[in-house]
Structure 1
Amino acid sequence: MKGGPLVISTLADGLTRQIEAVSDTLSETLFEPVIRLGVTGLARSGKTVFITSLIANLMDRGRMPQLVAAADGRIEAAFLQPQPDDTVPRFEFETHLAALTGPDPHWPESTRTISELRLSLRVRPKGLLSGLQGPRTVHLDIVDYPGEWLLDLGLLDKSYAEWSDSMLARIAGRASAQDYLGALGGVDGAASHDEGQAQRLAQSYTDYLQKARIEGFSDCTPGRFLLPGDLAGSPVLTFAPLPALAAAPRGSLYREMQRRFDAYKSQVVKPFFRDHFARIDRQVVLVDALGAIHSGPRAVEDLRLAMADILSAFRPGRTAFLARLLGAKRVEKILFAATKSDHLHHSQHARLTAIMDALLRDARTRADFAGADTQALALASLRATTEDTLTHDGRQIDCVRGRLLDTGKRAAFYPGDLPTDPAQLLSPARKGAASWLEADYEVMNFAPAALILKPGEGPPHIRLDRAAQFLIGDRL
C-alpha cells in the first residue's frame, strides 16, 4: 500500500507516546505533579524578562498577593532543579536576573531558540487534607520558544495555495512588501523551476519579513525564515508565496515551492509540535499591544489575525487527529498578556485590558475556537517607571517617568489617551485605515530602573501575580 510504512511508523510512534503520556500522568498524579508552561511572545513583547521575573517572584513571593497559594502561606519553598529534557538548552535565569537587578541594570539578550527551566514548589494542601497530608512538591517546567514557531503551527492546517493566497492578500498594501511584490511581477510559476530564481525570491521574502517584524506586524511566517539556525540556506527554507495557478505542471517553479512548503511543515513544524508543543499544559502568549497601536490600524488588525491563527493551533477539529496520533495533551489554559503596561499610568490600564479582551473575543470568533480556557490581561513583567501627574496647557496629565534607553536620562512620558471603547481602534483596523483619525499614540523605550530589593521580595511588576494565579493557581 502506498505510504503504508510511513503510516505504520507514525502510528507506532504515536502509540508509544500515548503509553508514555499515560505513565507520566499516573506518576504525576500519585507522586509529584508537573505543570508544563509554554511561554512565547510576538515581536518585542519581552519574553525573556517575563520568564525571569516570574521565576524570581515565585522564589521570593513578597510581591505576589494575587497568587492565592502564596498569599495563604502554603508555598513553603521554591527552588530550581535540573530540567527533565537533557537535549534542550537551559534558560539562563541567573544571567538574565543579574542583568535586570545588577548595579548597571539593562535588558537581557532575547532568546532565539527553545530553552527550558524547572522550578519546584513545596506546597501544603488546603482544606480537609491539610491536617492529613504533608507538603507535596509541584514541578513547574517553563518552556521558552519563539512566537514565530507558534504561528507556524497554523500552517499544519493549510495548503501551499491557501498560505500563499492569505499572505499575498495581507501584504498587498504594505510599503515594506513592495520589493517582494515587485519581484513577483516577472515570475511565471508555471515555468520550469530555476534554483537561482527560487533563492532570490526566498531572500526577497525573508527581507520583507525582517522589515515587517521591525514595523510591528505579527504574521511573520514561516518563522524559521527569521530564525534559521542550522537550516540557513537549505531548500526547506527556500520558498516564498506565489500567485495561485489553476494547474501547475511537473517541474515548475510553483510545484517546487509547493513541495518545499510541505517539507517545511513535515520536517520543521511537525517535529516541534511532536517534541515540545504537544506536551504543554498551559500557555502564555505575550503581546506588545501598545507597539501595535503605535504602528497604526493595520498593525492592530494584523495582531487580531495573528491571535486568531494562534487560537487555531489550539482548536479541536481538523488537527485533533494529529494531536491524538502523537499523544498530545490538551492545553487547558491560554493567557494573552499585553506587556509593558508600566508605559501607561494606572488610570489607563483598564482600557488596555479592554482592548486586549476585544482582540481576544474577535480572534476567538474568527478561529471558531472552543477549547482551552482563555483570558486577556495587561501586565508589566518588570516595572521600569514611576507615575506622576503634570500640568500642561492648563490641564492635569497622568504620565510615567523613567530612564530613557537611548540616553540614560530620566524623562516624563505621556503616550496619549487610549479610547474607553475598544471599537474606536478595532473598527478602523478592520476597515484597513492607514492611520488613526482622532489621535496619535506614542511609545517610549525605557531602561530598567535600579532596584533595592528587600529580603523575600522579587522584582517589581504589574499583575504578574494575577497571571500566575490564572496559569497555575488551580494546580497549587
Structure 2
Amino acid sequence: MGLSDIADGVTRLVEDASQSVGSMFEPVVRVGVTGLSRAGKTVFITSLVANLLDRGRMPQLAAGGRIETAFLQPQPDDSVPRFDLEGHLAALSGARPHWPASTRAISQLRVSLRVRPGGWLSGLSGPRTVHLDIVDYPGEWLLDLPLMTRSFAEWSADALAAARAPARAALAEGWLARLEASDPSAPLEEVSAQSLAKSFRDYLQAGRDAGLSDLAPGRFLMPGDLEGSPALTFCPLPEAKGARTGSLWRAFERRFEAYKRVVVKPFYRDHFSRIDRQVVLLDVLEALHDGPRAIEDLRLAMSEILRSFRPGPNSWLSGLLGLRRVERILFCATKADHLHHSQHPRLVSITEALLRDARDRADFRGARTAAMAIASLRATVEQTVTHEGLPLDCVRGILEESGREVVLHPGDLPEDPGAVLAPARDGAPLWLDGDYQVMHFAPPRLTRRPGEGPPHIRLDRALDFLIGDRLE
C-alpha cells in the first residue's frame, strides 16, 4: 500500500465519520440499485421515486401514512451525475411513451422524506427527516469486484477455461484463434495487442447478445471515457512463465493491474462500500427464453457478484469508522406483468433457487434478504378468455416491435424450480419441454389521477422491505 492509498483511506474515514455524526440528526439510507443489462434499473428507480412523491398506489408501504411529504433535494456528492428522473419520466409518460435508455454509468438521486413518528412517540416529538440516497450503477461493474483479489495469471486461466467450455466455444472461436497465433512471450506489438483486445471484446459482446451474464471485465462492454486506453486494451493469455519485461504477457499483466487500480478500486471505495441497502434486479424471464445455458450463466454470475457484498448489521461505530455493511438485500425478478399473477409464486421460486447459495451466505452473516416478483411499470392488464371450453389466464398489452395489441397466454412456469435448474447445470442445449416464450411490451399510455404514481406490481412491498424499519 502506497502513501497515496493511505492518504485516500484517511480522507475517506474523516468524510464517513462526519457524515455519520450528521446522520444522527437526519438519518441517511443509501440504497444501491443494480442488475445486469436489460434488468430494468432505470425504470425501477423512475417509478419508485415517482410513487414516493405521489403515494396513491403504495398501500403496502407500512409507514406510508406517516410520510407527510417527499421531495427531491440536490445529491450530496457533487462528483456523481444526477439520475435524470425528469427525462426518464417524460419518456414513459409522453404522448408516445417509450422505454428510457439503460444505465451506462453511475448516477445518484436524493429523496427526502418528512416522517411523523408513530406509536407513543407521536405526541412527544415532531416530524423528522429521513434522506434516501438512491445509487444507480451497472451490474456489469459488480462482475469486476472479484478481480481485486486475483492475479492476471489466475484470471487468465479461469477466463480461458470458460471460453473453451462447450457453452461458449463457438462464441469465442475468433478470439481463441487469434490467441493461438500469438506468442505471449514475444515483444509487445501495439497493433497486434489492440487486435487481440478487440477480438476479446467482440467475444464478450457476442456473449451478451446470446443472453449470457458472467462477462468480465464489465467495463469492456461500456468503456465510456476510457475507450481506447491501455487500461482497457488487454485480454486473458496462456501463462508464459519467465516472460521478460516488454513482452506481451508483461504488458497485459501491467494493464490488468491498471484496470483494477483505475476502474475497480475507485468504484468499490467511493460507492459500493458505502451502501446500506441493496436491490438486485434480475430478468429471469429473458434468461429462461434464452435457454438453459443463459440460466446457468445467470446463476454463476449472481453467485460471483454477491460474494463481493459485505452483508450484516450496522452499528453507530461501524458507520463512524466507515465500515459499512449491507443490512438488507432484495432480489427482484422484474417484468412480472408479462405473466398472470397466478404464475408469480413460481417465478419467485425459480429466482430463490437461482440465488440459494448467495442468500444463505448473506443470511448467515446477519443480513436480511428477500425475493419478489415485481413490475416497475405495469405494461399489461390481466384477462381471462375461454379456450377449448376452459378458462385461460392471459395478459393483454401492446407489442413493442409492431405496436399491435395482443392477448396471449405466455405459458406456465414449472412448479418445481429443479425442472429449470437441473438441465441448466447439466449443460442442456435446449429445454426438454419446449421454449419459454417472452414478448416485449411497450410502456402503456399513462393516465394518472392526482396523487397517484405510475402503475406497478409490488413496488410498495419492495420499498417497505428496504427502508420500512428506518421510517418507524
- Which TM bucket (shorter chain)? over 0.9
Can you give the 5+ residue segments of structure 1 that lack an aligned partner in the other structure? 1-5, 318-322
Aligned position for 2:449: 454
Aligned position for 2:347: 352
| Contact 1:311/1:369, CA 8 A, preserved across alignment | no
| Contact 2:311/2:327, CA 8 A, preserved across alignment | no
TM-score by length of 2: 0.93
State how far apart, in whole Å, the 2-side matches of 1:103 and 1:270 are: 43
State how far apart, in whole Å, the 1-side matches of 2:430 and 2:18 are: 54
Structure 1 residues 368, 473: CA separation in 2 closer, same or farther (over 3 Å shift)? closer
| Contact 2:32/2:135, CA 8 A, preserved across alignment | yes
Percent identity reads 65
State how far apart, in whole Å, the 1-side matches of 2:324 and 2:340 are: 40
Write out the 4+ residue segments of structure 1 that deviate beyond 4 Å after TM superposition: 364-369
- Cα RMSD (Å): 2.2
Could you tell me which amino acid in structure 2 is paired with residue 10 of structure 1?
Answer: D
1:80 alignment partner, SS class: strand
1:446 alignment partner, SS class: coil
1:275 to 2:299 alignment:
no
Structure 1 residues 246, 363: CA separation in 2 closer, same or farther (over 3 Å shift)? farther
| Contact 2:184/2:237, CA 8 A, preserved across alignment | yes
1:68 alignment partner, SS class: coil
Could you tell me which amino acid in structure 2 is paired with residue 166 of structure 1?
Answer: D
Q: Deviation of residue 343 (structure 1)?
A: 0.5
Aligned position for 1:62: 56
State how far apart, in whole Å, the 1-side matches of 2:244 and 2:370 are: 47
Q: Deviation of residue 277 (structure 1)?
A: 1.5
1:387 to 2:379 alignment:
no
Can you give the 5+ residue segments of structure 2 that lack an aligned partner in the other structure? 313-317
State how far apart, in whole Å, the 2-side matches of 1:345 and 1:26 are: 48
| Contact 2:75/2:108, CA 8 A, preserved across alignment | yes
* Cα deviations by residue, 1:373-431 (Å, 9 ceiling, x for unpaired): 22222110000001122344555432211001011110123222111111111111111
State how far apart, in whole Å, the 1-side matches of 2:279 and 2:377 are: 16
State how far apart, in whole Å, the 2-side matches of 1:450 and 1:301 are: 36
Aligned position for 1:22: 17
**Residue 124 of structure 1, aligned match among 110, 116, 133:** 116
**Residue 110 of structure 1, aligned match among 102, 105, 110:** 102
State how far apart, in whole Å, the 2-side matches of 1:177 and 1:315 are: 33
| Contact 1:315/1:371, CA 8 A, preserved across alignment | no
Q: Deviation of residue 284 (structure 1)?
A: 0.9
| Contact 1:308/1:367, CA 8 A, preserved across alignment | no
State how far apart, in whole Å, the 2-side matches of 1:266 and 1:368 are: 31
Q: Deviation of residue 367 (structure 1)?
A: 9.3
* Cα deviations by residue, 1:270-302 (Å, 9 ceiling, x for unpaired): 011112222211111111111111111111111
Aligned residue pairs, count? 463
State how far apart, in whole Å, the 2-side matches of 1:89 and 1:171 are: 35
| Contact 1:163/1:241, CA 8 A, preserved across alignment | yes
Instruction: Show the 5 A alignment for 1:300-379.
Output: 300-315=295-310, 327-364=322-359, 370=365, 372-379=367-374
State how far apart, in whole Å, the 2-side matches of 1:166 and 1:306 are: 14
State how far apart, in whole Å, the 2-side matches of 1:230 and 1:24 are: 30
Aligned position for 1:52: 46
Q: Deviation of residue 230 (structure 1)?
A: 1.3
Q: Deviation of residue 108 (structure 1)?
A: 1.3
* Cα deviations by residue, 1:322-376 (Å, 9 ceiling, x for unpaired): x99x934212112121110101111110000001111111344689973632222
State how far apart, in whole Å, the 1-side matches of 2:404 and 2:367 are: 44
1:150 to 2:145 alignment:
no
**Residue 37 of structure 1, aligned match among 28, 31, 34:** 31
| Contact 1:15/1:327, CA 8 A, preserved across alignment | no
**Residue 97 of structure 1, aligned match among 89, 94, 98:** 89
1:193 alignment partner, SS class: coil
